[in-house]
Structure 1
Amino acid sequence: MKQKINLFIIAFFLVYNAFSQNTYVFLGSYNRDKSAEAIQVFQLDTLNGKLTKVTAVKNIVNPSYLAISPNGKYVYACTDTKTPNAGSVSSFEFNPENKSLTFLNSQRSGGENPVYVSVHKSGKWLANANYTEGSVSVYPILENGKIDSIAQNFQYTEGSTHKERQTRSHVHSAVFSPQFDYLFLPDLGADKIRCYAFDENKKQPLTETKNPFIKTDLEAGPRHFTFHPNQKFGYCIEEMAGQISVYKYEKGVLNKIQRIATHIDKIKDGFESSDIHISPDGKFLYATNRGKENNIAIFSIDENGLLKNIGYQSTLGKHPRVFAIDESGKFLIASNVITGNIIVFRRNPKTGLLKKTGKQIKMENVSCVQIKKY
């Protein structure tokens, strides 16, 4: 009897480890100290939400935003962010077996202040948005995960009506369409969402479309963008206006059907809306508000794509720049830049509401979080 109990305990822990220890969390930061661990990697226990540190990388400056390759082998980062006359994108190789993250190479970003990178589903292309100079760059990715030299770079100059923040273009993200045949560029400075057709088989994959951009409301400040899992709707968070614009989507064309506030406070000035994601089941949308609120706005999504606000959750820190939802939809992890803390929330799949779980992690100037299951 005792032997059977022991075998059961051993089997339980083998299953526990198999199901709870194959999800990893990657954290980027604003950190100019090359001796500091500017990128850190944790294992996420998907049973209790606990984070356990496994590795880190030093000798890089301001890896402010991260993206993971589809196969999970490579990590790409905006580096030298907010560095005058600089800016780069860098690649790293992640090995979950020996828990290592190894620097591969860097390329110039094609513009000052890179703020967003995304990887094509083929794993063969990288897109980068440069904020300060308002540009986008695309790079081939080599078979070994290294970034090749820039294939294309488009720069924009026009701004919008806000006299301080919109004197010129500020491209804040580069987001592939659901079929990865278009690339969308929310431009905070110009109040536009730009669009290019993307052909992965061409040496220069970006080509202009019949609708090269759509205009947002003036002084909206479009920042980040996400698509619904059903591929029929797109959602743009507007940093300056504190709004989310909802669009019907088809073959590279966006048509707005709703605009809804992300903030509790209805006062116009001082909004700092930031990141936006949808749960894997497509039922709920989450958006972060920085500034005096420092929370996550939670919305239900109707079958017609429209949003309804159902609540707010404090991020338990200040300045939640980027957050992520794991592939199972079970956890949402938020990173707070100013307080340097990372909070794991358990997500209720029925209500969409969030509840803190596990122990918070500290990381100075943490600016980005990405999650990948292996």
Structure 2
Amino acid sequence: MSKLKYFLAGLLIMAMTSCMQKESELFLFVGSYADATDPGIHLYRFDVEKGMAVPVKSLSGIQDPSYLAVSQDGKFVYSVSETAVPDAKVCAYSFDKHTGTLSLLNEQKTDGSAPCYIWVDSKRRMAVTANYNGGSISVFPISADGTLQPAKVYAYEGGTPGSERQAVPHLHCVYASPDEAYLYANDLGTDRIYKYDIIASDKGWGLREGTPASFSLPAGEGPRHAVFHPNGKWAYLIGELSGRVVFMQYDKGNLTPVQSVEADTLHASGSADIHITPDGRFLYASNRLKGDGIAIFSIDPANGQLTKVGYQLTGVHPRNFVITPNGKFLLCACRDCNVVQVYEIDKQSGLLRDTEKDIRVSKPVCLKFTNR
């Protein structure tokens, strides 16, 4: 009997060790397009020094979990289900780092079709989705146990009649100012960035229309994703339709455009994601539909202006990508060739080198790391 106990204890230790992180590892979540009966959220351990991924677990039970948000403490994961109303929803999961297990806590309807993006604040007070076909955003208060409360929906109007992709509002991204005093919502359909004050009240945290209520961009820009520079003074936006990166000065909630540079010289109207290295030296923007790849820019440390320094061809339909916190690797989700590519970043030039350490996964579209 004692031998059996030792044997079982050994198996338990081995199982736990397989999910435990090494000092150089972070957990990597991959969201994808998938039927609810198929694995849709995938978990890996990723070595940020070696650029290697080890699969841990996959989760089914949710239709098209195309965008994820991980709480700052790494204990909760929130996923959209990018479907039409009435099925469109957000699912809240608890995450056990020791076992690599996601456990469903609850789910709430977005009441807005095709939620394609979700943001959660650093203190886990609220989750907000951008509902692309719903022309709206949904704001979910988050309870202390990580569960979602019912959403309040903010719907928008406008658009260009007769336009193929801008006839109505299409909300594509929500993000906060560096101090989380303001929330912004990018509307591809009306070429606007909506602004809100993030406020606290007796009923919890919520939004109040900002002053001004929105910022207008040039017609046909099609604002998609945006990112703030680590210094908190500059913001950069990728226009899906224009294929341009817009550099904006940030001051007390206001965004002032300063420079616009081409990321997509083929004008395919398929630009997607945008990120900056942790040291603030380089900016990357992904492009799809033609010449699929990532445009590479250097950032002038004195004034934030961009200079294009290169272009890295990728797999088919590069959508979301992510940079490791140490700035060593860039991982790119290529939806239509079922792979996450791992590129090493040259810290002097910003150029990318394909490590060929691909992560094979069906229709990947979102990549998120946990904090340690």
TM-score for both structures, normalised by structure 1: 0.90
Q: How far did 1:21 drift? A: 4.8
Q: Which moved more, 1:156-165 or 1:85-94?
A: 156-165
Distance in 2 between the 1:49 and 1:201 partners? 45
Distance in 1 between the 2:25 and 2:371 partners? 6
Asked if 2 retains the 8 angstrom alpha-carbon contact of 1:107 and 1:149, the reply is yes
Per the alignment, do residues 120 and 162 of structure 1 end up closer, same or farther by CA in structure 2, a change over 3 Å counting? Answer: farther
Instruction: Report matched runs for 1:174-189 at 5 Å.
Output: 174-189=174-189
Instruction: Report matched runs for 1:20-59 at 5 Å.
Output: 20-32=23-35, 34-59=36-61
Asked if 1 retains the 8 angstrom alpha-carbon contact of 2:116 and 2:130, the reply is yes
Distance in 1 between the 2:195 and 2:119 partners? 15
Determine the structure 2 residue equivalent to 1:250. 251
Determine the structure 2 residue equivalent to 1:7. none
Per the alignment, do residues 201 and 332 of structure 1 end up closer, same or farther by CA in structure 2, a change over 3 Å counting? Answer: farther
Determine the structure 2 residue equivalent to 1:95. 96
Q: How far did 1:22 drift? A: 3.2
Q: How far did 1:147 drift? A: 1.1
Match of 1:73 among 75, 82, 103: 75
Per the alignment, do residues 250 and 88 of structure 1 end up closer, same or farther by CA in structure 2, a change over 3 Å counting? Answer: same
Determine the structure 2 residue equivalent to 1:295. 293
Distance in 2 between the 1:342 and 1:330 partners? 16
Output one character per residue of 1:242-272: Cα deviation in whole Å (capped at 9) or x when no partner.
Answer: 001111001110111000000232xxx5320
* Correspondence 1:345 to 2:348: no
Distance in 1 between the 2:317 and 2:139 partners? 29
Distance in 2 between the 1:119 and 1:127 partners? 7
Per the alignment, do residues 160 and 216 of structure 1 end up closer, same or farther by CA in structure 2, a change over 3 Å counting? Answer: farther
Distance in 1 between the 2:351 and 2:201 partners? 42
Distance in 1 between the 2:101 and 2:218 partners? 45
Q: Which moved more, 1:283-292 or 1:20-29?
A: 20-29
Q: How far did 1:82 drift? A: 3.5
Distance in 1 between the 2:97 and 2:246 partners? 38
Asked if 2 retains the 8 angstrom alpha-carbon contact of 1:56 and 1:101, the reply is no
Q: How far did 1:359 drift? A: 2.1
Per the alignment, do residues 326 and 200 of structure 1 end up closer, same or farther by CA in structure 2, a change over 3 Å counting? Answer: farther
* Correspondence 1:159 to 2:159: yes
Determine the structure 1 residue equivalent to 2:109. 108
Output one character per residue of 1:122-157: Cα deviation in whole Å (capped at 9) or x when no partner.
Answer: 11211111111211111111122111111x321012
Instruction: Report matched runs for 1:202-221 at 5 Å.
Output: 203=204, 205-221=206-222
RMSD: 1.7
SS of the counterpart of 1:338? helix
Instruction: Report matched runs for 1:125-164 at 5 Å.
Output: 125-150=126-151, 152-160=152-160, 163-164=163-164
Distance in 2 between the 1:153 and 1:84 partners? 13
Per the alignment, do residues 248 and 162 of structure 1 end up closer, same or farther by CA in structure 2, a change over 3 Å counting? Answer: farther
* Correspondence 1:318 to 2:321: no
Asked if 1 retains the 8 angstrom alpha-carbon contact of 2:141 and 2:150, the reply is yes
Residue 43 of structure 2 aligns to which amino acid in structure 1? V
Q: How far did 1:84 drift? A: 5.1
Residue 110 of structure 2 aligns to which amino acid in structure 1? S
Determine the structure 1 residue equivalent to 2:6. none
Instruction: Report matched runs for 1:261-276 at 5 Å.
Output: 261-265=262-266, 270-276=268-274
Asked if 2 retains the 8 angstrom alpha-carbon contact of 1:160 and 1:191, the reply is no
Asked if 1 retains the 8 angstrom alpha-carbon contact of 2:48 and 2:326, the reply is no
Asked if 1 retains the 8 angstrom alpha-carbon contact of 2:86 and 2:111, the reply is no
Sequence identity (%) = 35
Distance in 1 between the 2:95 and 2:22 partners? 20
Asked if 2 retains the 8 angstrom alpha-carbon contact of 1:336 and 1:366, the reply is yes
TM-score for both structures, normalised by structure 2: 0.91
Residue 235 of structure 1 aligns to which amino acid in structure 2? Y
Determine the structure 2 residue equivalent to 1:64. 66
Unaligned runs of 5+ in 1: 1-13
Determine the structure 1 residue equivalent to 2:331. 333
Determine the structure 2 residue equivalent to 1:8. none
SS of the counterpart of 2:173? coil
Count of residues paired in the alignment? 352
Distance in 2 between the 1:162 and 1:52 partners? 48
Unaligned runs of 5+ in 2: 1-16
SS of the counterpart of 1:174? strand
Per the alignment, do residues 18 and 231 of structure 1 end up closer, same or farther by CA in structure 2, a change over 3 Å counting? Answer: same
Distance in 1 between the 2:155 and 2:173 partners? 14
Per the alignment, do residues 200 and 230 of structure 1 end up closer, same or farther by CA in structure 2, a change over 3 Å counting? Answer: farther
Residue 238 of structure 1 aligns to which amino acid in structure 2? G
Distance in 2 between the 1:204 and 1:20 partners? 36
Q: How far did 1:283 drift? A: 0.7
